[in-house]
C-alpha cells in the first residue's frame, strides 16, 4: 500500500514538474499531453502551487498561446494570487504583454481591482514601468481603478510622476479629464504639481501647466505652493526654467495666495499686471484705455528683453574679466623678457631682466598690468556680489571699469612689445605704438561721445516730464 502511494506521489510530482517546465517553455503540446494523462493536473496545481500558478509564469514570460490554453481549461486561474498577492494580470502588466492583458481582462475585468501586498493594482505596475498601451487598456476596462490610492494617499498620478513616466501621465490625464483627479492630494497635501516640482521634472511641469484644470497655487500641509517648493530648491538650469514656467501662468508664493479661492487669485494677478502697466504709462489702471494697456504690455515685454540682454551681458563680462585677470596674473609673474635664472653680483635669480635694463618701462608695465588685474577682479566681485543697485548705475560702473581694464591691458601689451623688440626695429615699433594709441583713443572718444549724447537726451526727457507733472498739478 505504501509502495503504491509513493509511486503515485512521485508521478504527481513528476507531472507538476512537467507542468512547470511547460509553463516556462510555453509549450501548448506538453500541456495537452499532461491534461490527457491527468485531467485534474491544473486543478491540483491551483492547490499545490502556492508561489506561482502556471498562468502566473505564462503571463510573466509572455506565452500568449499557452495562457489561452490554460484559461480555456481553468478560467478561474486568472483570479489566483501568488505569495506577494499578485495576480497573473499584475505580472503581464508589469512586463508590458498587452495581448495577455487583453485576454485576462476578457475573462474577468475585476482582476484590475486586485491589490498585491503593497497595495498596488496592475495599473500601478503598468504605470511604474511606463507601459502606456497596457495602462490605456486597464483604464478602459475599469475606469474606477484610477481612484485607488497607495500608502500616504499617493494617487496613480503621483506614482507616474515619482517614477518619471510622462507618457503614462499624459494618457491618464487625457483619459479621466477631471479636475478633482488631476488636483488630488496625498496625505501631505501635495498635488502632482508639487511632486513634479520637487523632483525637478521640467517636462512634466510644463505639461501640467498647459492644461486649464491644474491648481497652480494649491498649498500643501507645509504651507507651500509649487513656487515656494522650487524657491527652496538648489538653483540650477532646471529650477530656473521651472520657476519661469510657474510665473508665466500666475503662480504665487503661499504668503500671497488669497484665502477666498481662485477668483481672488485671478483678480490679484490681473491687478498686479495692470498696476505694472499703469506705472509704465504713468496713468491709473482704472482709467487707462485698451490701447494704453496694449502699449504698456509691449513696453513691459521690451523691458523683459532688456533684462535678458543685461543677463547675457553680465555673463559675457564675467568671462571677459576672468580672461583678462588670468592674463594679467600670468604677465605679472612672467614679465616681458623673462626672469634671471642665476645669481650674480648685478642681479638675483628670479628677478625681472626688464627691471634691470629698463627700469622706467618695467615700472610703467607693472603699474598698468596691476590696474588691469585689480579692475578685472573688481568687475568679477561686483557681478557676483548681488549688491542692490539701479541697472543704469550698475551698468555704467561696469562699463567704466571695463574701459579702464581694457585700456590698461592694451598699454601693458604695447610696453611689453616695446621692451622686447630689438633696437633696429625701434622706429617701426614706435610708429605702430603711436598709431595704435591714436586709434584706441579715437575709439574711446567716439564711445564716450555717444554715451554723453544719450545722457543729455535722458536729462532733457526728465526735465520735460517734470514740467508736465508740475503743469498738471498746477
Which of 148, 172, 188 is where one domain is finished?
Answer: 148
**d(Cα 348, Cα 326) in Å, to the nearest integer?**
26
Instruction: Give which of 7, 48, 5 is closest to 19, Cα–Cα.
Output: 48
Do residues 133 and 13 both lie within one domain? yes
Do residues 142 and 97 both lie within one domain? yes
Do residues 379 and 451 both lie within one domain? no
Do residues 8 and 134 both lie within one domain? yes
Give the global pTM: 0.54
Residue 247 lies in a domain: no
**pLDDT of the residue at 141:** 93
- Structural domain boundaries, residue 317: 313-420
3-state secondary structure of 218: coil
374, with CB counted inside 10 A (0-12, 13-18, 19+), is middle
Q: Which residue has the cell 491540483?
A: 44
Q: Which residue has the cell 485698451?
A: 290
366-to-88, 116, 306, 324, 370 alpha-carbon distances in Å: 81, 77, 38, 15, 6
Q: Quick one: three-class SS letters along 284-343?
A: CCCCCCHHHHHHHHHHHHHHHHHHHHHHHHHHHHHHHHHHHHHHHHHHHHCCCCCECCCC
Domain count for the chain: 3
pLDDT in tens, 204-253: 999 999 877 899 999 999 889 999 999 888 878 888 899 999 988 888 88
Do residues 415 and 432 both lie within one domain? no
Residue 362 lies in a domain: yes
**pLDDT of the residue at 278:** 44
Do residues 378 and 458 both lie within one domain? no
Residue 284 lies in a domain: no
Which residues lie across from 339 on neighbouring strands? 352
Do residues 443 and 471 both lie within one domain? yes
Do residues 88 and 37 both lie within one domain? yes
Residue 261 lies in a domain: no
pLDDT in tens, 17-68: 788 888 888 888 888 888 887 777 777 766 555 478 889 999 999 999 999 9
Residue 304 lies in a domain: no
Q: Which residues of the chain have pLDDT under 70?
A: 1-14, 45-50, 259-313, 345-346, 386-394, 423-426, 473-474
Do residues 12 and 116 both lie within one domain? yes
Do residues 25 and 128 both lie within one domain? yes
Residue 463 lies in a domain: yes
16-to-49, 52, 83, 264 alpha-carbon distances in Å: 9, 12, 18, 69
Contact 401, 378 (CB under 8 A): yes
Sort residue 211 into left (φ over 0), alpha (ψ -120 to 50) or beta.
beta
DSSP 8-state code for residue 154: -
Residue 459 lies in a domain: yes
3-state secondary structure of 139: helix
**d(Cα 125, Cα 387) in Å, to the nearest integer?**
52
Do residues 119 and 14 both lie within one domain? yes
Residue 449 lies in a domain: yes
Do residues 7 and 139 both lie within one domain? yes
With b meaning 16 or more CB within 10 Å and e meaning fewer, what string describes 256-269?
ebeeeeeeebeebb
**In this structure, what CATH number is given to the domain that contains residue 127?**
1.25.40.20
Amino acid at each position: 500500500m505504501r509502495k503504491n502511494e509513493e509511486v503515485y506521489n512521485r508521478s504527481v510530482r513528476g507531472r507538476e514538474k512537467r507542468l512547470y517546465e511547460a509553463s516556462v517553455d510555453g509549450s501548448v503540446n506538453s500541456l495537452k499531453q499532461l491534461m490527457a494523462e491527468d485531467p485534474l493536473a491544473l486543478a491540483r496545481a491551483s492547490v499545490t502551487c502556492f508561489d506561482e500558478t502556471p498562468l502566473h509564469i505564462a503571463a510573466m514570460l509572455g506565452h500568449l498561446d499557452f495562457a489561452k490554453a490554460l484559461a480555456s481549461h481553468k478560467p478561474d486561474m486568472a483570479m489566483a494570487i501568488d505569495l506577494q498577492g499578485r495576480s497573473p494580470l499584475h505580472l503581464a502588466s508589469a512586463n508590458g504583454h498587452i495581448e495577455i492583458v487583453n485576454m485576462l481582462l476578457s475573462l474577468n475585468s475585476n482582476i484590475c481591482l486586485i491589490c498585491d501586498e503593497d497595495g498596488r493594482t496592475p495599473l500601478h505596475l503598468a504605470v511604474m514601468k511606463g507601459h502606456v498601451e497596457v495602462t490605456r487598456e486597464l483604464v478602459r476596462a475599469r475606469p474606477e481603478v484610477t481612484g485607488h490610492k497607495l500608502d500616504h494617499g499617493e494617487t496613480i498620478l503621483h506614482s507616474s510622476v515619482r517614477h518619471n513616466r510622462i507618457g503614462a501621465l499624459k494618457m491618464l490625464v487625457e483619459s479621466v479629464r477631471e479636475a478633482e483627479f488631476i488636483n488630488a492630494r496625498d496625505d501631505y497635501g501635495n498635488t502632482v504639481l508639487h511632486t513634479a516640482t520637487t523632483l525637478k521634472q521640467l517636462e512634466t511641469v510644463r505639461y501640467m501647466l498647459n492644461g486649464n484644470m491644474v491648481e497652480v497655487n494649491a498649498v500643501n500641509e507645509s504651507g507651500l505652493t509649487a513656487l515656494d517648493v522650487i524657491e527652496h530648491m538648489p538653483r540650477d538650469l532646471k529650477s530656473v526654467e521651472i520657476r519661469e514656467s510657474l510665473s508665466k501662468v500666475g503662480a504665487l508664493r503661499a504668503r500671497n495666495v488669497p484665502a477666498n479661492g481662485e477668483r481672488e487669485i485671478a483678480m490679484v494677478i490681473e491687478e498686479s499686471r495692470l498696476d505694472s502697466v499703469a506705472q509704465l504709462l504713468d496713468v491709473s489702471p482704472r482709467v487707462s484705455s485698451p490701447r494704453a494697456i496694449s502699449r504698456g504690455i509691449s513696453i513691459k515685454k521690451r523691458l523683459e528683453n532688456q533684462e535678458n540682454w543685461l543677463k547675457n551681458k553680465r555673463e559675457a563680462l564675467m568671462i571677459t574679466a576672468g580672461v583678462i585677470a588670468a592674463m594679467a596674473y600670468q604677465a605679472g609673474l612672467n614679465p616681458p623678457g623673462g626672469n634671471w635664472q642665476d645669481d650674480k653680483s648685478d642681479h638675483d635669480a628670479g628677478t625681472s631682466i626688464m627691471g634691470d635694463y629698463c627700469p622706467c618701462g618695467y615700472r610703467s608695465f607693472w603699474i598698468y598690468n596691476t590696474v588691469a588685474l585689480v579692475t578685472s577682479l573688481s568687475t568679477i566681485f561686483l557681478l557676483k556680489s548681488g549688491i542692490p543697485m539701479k541697472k543704469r548705475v550698475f551698468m555704467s560702473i561696469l562699463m567704466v571699469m571695463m574701459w579702464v581694464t581694457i585700456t590698461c591691458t592694451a598699454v601693458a601689451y604695447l610696453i611689453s612689445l616695446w621692451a622686447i623688440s630689438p633696437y633696429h626695429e625701434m622706429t617701426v615699433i614706435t610708429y605702430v605704438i603711436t598709431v595704435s594709441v591714436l586709434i584706441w583713443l579715437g575709439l574711446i572718444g567716439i564711445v564716450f561721445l555717444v554715451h554723453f549724447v544719450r545722457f543729455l537726451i535722458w536729462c532733457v526727457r526728465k526735465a520735460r516730464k517734470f514740467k508736465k507733472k508740475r503743469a498738471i498739478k498746477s
